[in-house]
């Protein structure tokens, strides 16, 4: 199904279509390499889960990361709410 109102990201002379708002932010701010790196780290961590205690350790790392990211995400969402 074709998107009726597609999102586009303009970088210099290049125009790229974004699948959604999150994809648009990744492309606009050139965060795709960072996001791919985080995906690889999460995949590596999740491969280490063999039992429940290890799951709790990995969950603690991920929870700590999101606690640190939440203020940044709240600031970004506030910026877009004002626009």
Which residues does residue 81 pair with via DSSP β-bridges, in sequence order?
A: none
Same domain, 41 and 26: no
Please identify every stretch of the chain with a pLDDT value under 50, giving residue numbers as ranges: none
Which structural domain, as residue segments, surrounds residue 5? 1-30
Q: What is the pLDDT of residue 60?
A: 93
Same domain, 41 and 81: yes
Task: Say what the pTM is.
Answer: 0.62
Q: What is the pLDDT of residue 79?
A: 65
CA angle centred on 67, ends 26 and 65, rounded to 5°: 60
Same domain, 25 and 46: no
Same domain, 80 and 47: yes
Q: How many CA atoms lie within 13 A of 27 on its CB side?
A: 17
């Amino acid at each position: 199904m074709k998107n009726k109102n597609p999102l586009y990201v303009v970088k210099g002379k290049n125009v790229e279509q974004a699948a959604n708002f999150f994809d648009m932010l990744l492309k606009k701010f050139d965060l795709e390499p960072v996001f791919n790196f985080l995906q690889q780290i999460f995949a590596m961590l999740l491969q280490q889960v063999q039992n429940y205690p290890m799951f709790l350790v990995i969950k603690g790392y991920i929870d700590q990361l999101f606690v640190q990211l939440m203020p940044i995400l709240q600031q970004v969402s506030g910026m877009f709410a004002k626009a």
